[in-house]
Amino acid sequence: MVLNAPSSGPGGEPGVPAGHWADPPGGAQGVVRQDILSSWQRCLAAGLRPDHFEVPYQPDMDDDGPLRWAAAPILDQVAGELEGTGVGLLLTDARGQVVDRRAADTGILARLDRIELAPGFLYGEDLIGTNAIGTAITQQGPSVVTGAEHFADALAPMACAAIPVTDGAGQMIGVIDLTCAAENFNPMLLPFAKRAAWDIGHRLREGAKPRSPNPGGWSSLTDTERTAAYLAAQGLTSRVMADRMRVSQPTVRSHLRHVFRKLGVRSRVELARITEQATTQGHVIAAVDDTRQRIARDLHDGLQQRLVTLGLQVRTAEVSVPPSDVELKWELTRVADGLMDVLQDVREISRGIPPAILSERGLEPALRALARRSPVPVNLNLRIPGRLADRVEIGAYYIVSEALANAAKHANAGLVEVFAEAVRRVLSLTVRDDGVGGADPHGSGLAGLRERAEALGGMLQLTSLPGRGTSLHVRLPAVPR
């Protein structure tokens, strides 16, 4: 139902945006709840427009503070309970910045990526309009927003329920949010969120002090912290760093404190050594990829073609041999079979090298070819318009290839789902299997994938609960070719 509301209220206050409609849970169709109406008025007063949707992003997050510590086991448990429901689970700080996200289903993950409801993005009400996260923060209480109750048109297909998380002193320090497609909304989402928020608050109120995290290495740094590390490793002063980064000197010093703590270093000399190693690693991966591409071209265009030609020539000679010359016929057959064995060996070697289809036609056709060769059935959901930079396509291809190989070798999986979407200069990849789960997040194979993602300026996240399969989520800069 369309709500033809005036642009301003009777007392001169901002009215609701024209054209908004709502079917609030438990309410009459076309009746807008007072909390939603008040939120719309605040949005109009803030100068927001329903047809303009831009979510701010800040790379710096408090990803190892008390909130994240207290929430981690709760989020693990709730994520397992939500698996298969099409509901995304999110944790934000008191400003509405997403610090953690759990979404095992590729469908809801794709929806969350499209509206940029992901770590680092800010969902404050004054920034993007009425939404459960921002509105819960503003009104300091639970919030449910469904469909076109959202102020921004871009959020109308979604529904969400959120509730603040409070610490031992009763201060709000974050928000738990459950988000799904509007057509899948269930009134039980809010009680579910309330339980999770209470459990997190209870851990905080217990007063147990989190253990000091072990140094997380280069992969634990945000993009801004990496920039600070590079500049500091060059011996630049805080003032010069502040000028180059366009921030204040106190902010630079704060970034450096985080860098030193996360890397476990105590001097700029140690920082320079680690920074050099990280830079070298990125160059090595790029050089290896270039070498692999060259070898792939040589194998495909040279050796394999020559072997196929020789095999055909030998088969032709074999057919032309008179039946009476059995010994010569047998010898030619043996040579032809040997050539085919060598060709098969070359093809086996080539499987670890990007196929020609990747360089010639792009990532999406290459992933489809990869899925066809997988011993485990693969469901594909690919949205990659156009070509991306060679490094990005190669990195994404290897990540998906390794994930499919792991699903076949170790997961005992019956089905793998692969989702890939390039939107707003970000390539999102998800590989999810229905196997045994329990993958080691610190294993050498996963470490190699994480290094490759980080060398491209991206991030990798693993969710692998025992008995619930494994989900690998990757975000890479989608640099166009």
Residue 18 has pLDDT above 60, yes or no: no
What tokens does 368 get?
Answer: 């489809």
pLDDT cut 70: percent of the chain above it: 79
Residue 346 has pLDDT above 90, yes or no: no
Most distant CA pair in the chain, distance: 109
Q: pLDDT digit string (tens) for 95-139?
A: 999 988 887 677 888 889 889 898 888 999 999 999 999 999 999
Asked if residues 474 and 219 have their Cβ atoms less than 8 Å apart, the reply is no
**How far from 331 is each of 25, 317, 318, 339, 414, CA to CA, in Å?**
81, 11, 9, 13, 45
pLDDT cut 90: percent of the chain above it: 29
Residue 325: what pLDDT? 82
Q: pLDDT digit string (tens) for 306-331?
A: 777 777 787 788 778 888 887 887 88
Residue 363: what pLDDT? 92
Residues in the chain: 481
Residue 427 three-state SS: strand
Residue 223: what pLDDT? 63
pTM: 0.45
Tokens 């693993």, located at residue: 462
Q: At what angle do helices 268-298 and 444-455 cross, to 10 degrees?
A: 90
Mean pLDDT of 47-69: 82
Q: CB under 8 Å to 376, separation ≥6 — which residues?
A: 404, 407, 408, 413, 414, 415, 416, 433
| Range scoring the smallest mean pLDDT among 176-190, 302-316, 406-420 | 302-316
Q: Which H/E stretch holds residue 327?
A: helix 326-350
Residue 376 per-residue DSSP state: S
What tokens does 339 get?
Answer: 């050539």
Q: At what angle do helices 363-373 and 390-409 cross, to 10 degrees?
A: 20
What tokens does 221 get?
Answer: 């740094």
Q: CB under 8 Å to 348, separation ≥6 — which residues?
A: none
Q: Which H/E stretch holds residue 297?
A: helix 268-298
Residue 8: what pLDDT? 40
- Pairing outcome for strands 172-181 and 158-166: antiparallel
Mean pLDDT of 334-350: 70
Residue 15 has pLDDT above 50, yes or no: no
Residue 230: what pLDDT? 80
Partners of 160 in the beta sheet? 145, 179
Of 57-61, 337-341, 458-462, the range with the highest mean pLDDT is 458-462
Mean pLDDT of 293-300: 56
Residue 41 has pLDDT above 90, yes or no: yes
Cα separation, 147 vs 36, in Å, equals 12
What tokens does 296 get?
Answer: 């792939």
| Range scoring the smallest mean pLDDT among 211-225, 361-375, 423-437 | 211-225
Residue 298: what pLDDT? 55
- Pairing outcome for strands 378-383 and 426-433: unpaired
What tokens does 467 get?
Answer: 């008995």
Residue 128 burial by CB count (10 A; 0-12/13-18/19+): exposed, middle or buried? buried
Cα separation, 341 vs 265, in Å, equals 53
Residue 123: what pLDDT? 96
| Range scoring the smallest mean pLDDT among 117-121, 288-292, 460-464 | 288-292
Residue 170 per-residue DSSP state: S
Cα separation, 278 vs 333, in Å, equals 53
Asked if residues 109 and 430 have their Cβ atoms less than 8 Å apart, the reply is yes
Q: In what order do the strands lie in the sheet with 143-146?
A: 98-102, 88-93, 172-181, 158-166, 143-146
Residue 56 three-state SS: coil
What tokens does 240 get?
Answer: 């010069």
Cα separation, 11 vs 30, in Å, equals 22
Residue 356 has pLDDT above 70, yes or no: no
Cα separation, 431 vs 401, in Å, equals 10
| Range scoring the smallest mean pLDDT among 16-25, 146-155, 350-359 | 16-25
Cα separation, 407 vs 415, in Å, equals 9
Confidence of residue 142 (pLDDT cuts 50, 70, 90): very high
What tokens does 282 get?
Answer: 């990125």
Q: Which H/E stretch holds residue 416?
A: strand 416-423
- CA dihedral 348→352→353→359, nearest 10 degrees, is 100
